[in-house]
Amino acid sequence: MTEQADANWVDGYWWSNDGLRLHYRDYPALPEHADRPVLLCLPGLTRNARDYEALARRHAGEWRVICPEMRGRAESAYAKDPMTYVPLTYVQDVERLLTDLGQPRFVAIGTSLGGIMTMIMAPTHQDRLAGAVLNDIGPEIEAAGLDRIRGYVGSGSNHPTWVHAARALAENQGAAFPDYGLEDWLGMAKRLFRLNNNGRVVLDYDMRIAEPLRIPGGEAGVDLWPLMAAFRSIPTLILRGELSDLMSEATAERMKAEIGEEAELVTVARVGHAPTLNEPEAVAAIDRLLARVAARG
């Protein structure tokens, strides 16, 4: 089911295997590009479809862009069992969406958690995966970054105004985005927070998504290095923030070596975890990847 949202996208909904009503944004392609793979934009752990708005607007028309919100985020229903807030369940949810949409092929653009999902999906979807972007995530997650994430996810942060929320983000994440000004932090706040019924600015996700992270292995659950082989025949972009505390340079270089000729590695300067995909280096790299996908038909 879809509902008109604005001239650029419509709201869509689908049902998970365990009965949750989940939400996605659907940016249509022009009729002459209807046979292209869809761009499937998979967000990070605490994020939602709003993170991909700029990217989607850049590519909508030439590509159909689908931006799903994982269970427990934004307009998607919260899970009754918090232990379903794990990558394997998110993958099952997205596979159900692709089936419902009748999309035979897709380009996965995965940031952080979304990249883990992309890696998990690759071996069983090699005939459907037309391209992949792995944004600041790899088979090895640095302990410092994981500890930082565990320290803030599920904290229940709330603020009286958007400016207060922006300043809190600047205080907590300033090391990852040293060149950001107030307007940039306000933009991030609008993507990450929402207004509640009491007029407070609150995080737009179920605080219980943190519970699986308290269990060793809960961040991924499987050894992901063997999955790199699945990308050897797929155009793949590996993005890394220069200041990332989650993905090391060594991990990125090993990923490129494991995948081989199909992989391009791009480092986004003066950005930590994770690049927004709106940085000039990221925009150009994604354009190159999509040109490769389009050329293959």
Coil, strand or helix: which one is 222? Answer: coil
141 within domain boundaries:
yes
Residue 190 falls inside a structural domain: no
The residue segments making up the domain with residue 287 are: 2-151+220-296
Helix 182-192 vs helix 162-173: angle between axes, to the nearest 10 degrees? Answer: 100
**In total, how many domains does the chain have?**
1
Residue 90: give its domain's CATH number: 3.40.50.1820
Residues 119-138 have pLDDT tens digits of 999 999 999 999 999 999 99
H runs (alpha helix) in the chain:
53-59, 87-101, 113-121, 143-152, 162-173, 182-192, 249-259, 280-296
| Contact indicator for 282, 239 with CB cutoff of 8 Å | yes
pLDDT tens-place string over residues 39-98: 999 999 999 999 999 999 999 999 999 999 999 999 999 999 999 999 999 999 999 999
In-domain check, residue 72: yes
Mean pLDDT of 132-159: 91
Residues 193, 197, 199: CA angle, nearest 5 degrees:
65
Q: What share of the chain is helix, strand, coil (3-state, %, to 5)?
A: 40, 20, 40
The verdict on residue 196 lying in a domain is no
How long a stretch of residues is the chain?
Answer: 297
Domain contains 89: yes
Q: What is the mean pLDDT of the chain?
A: 94
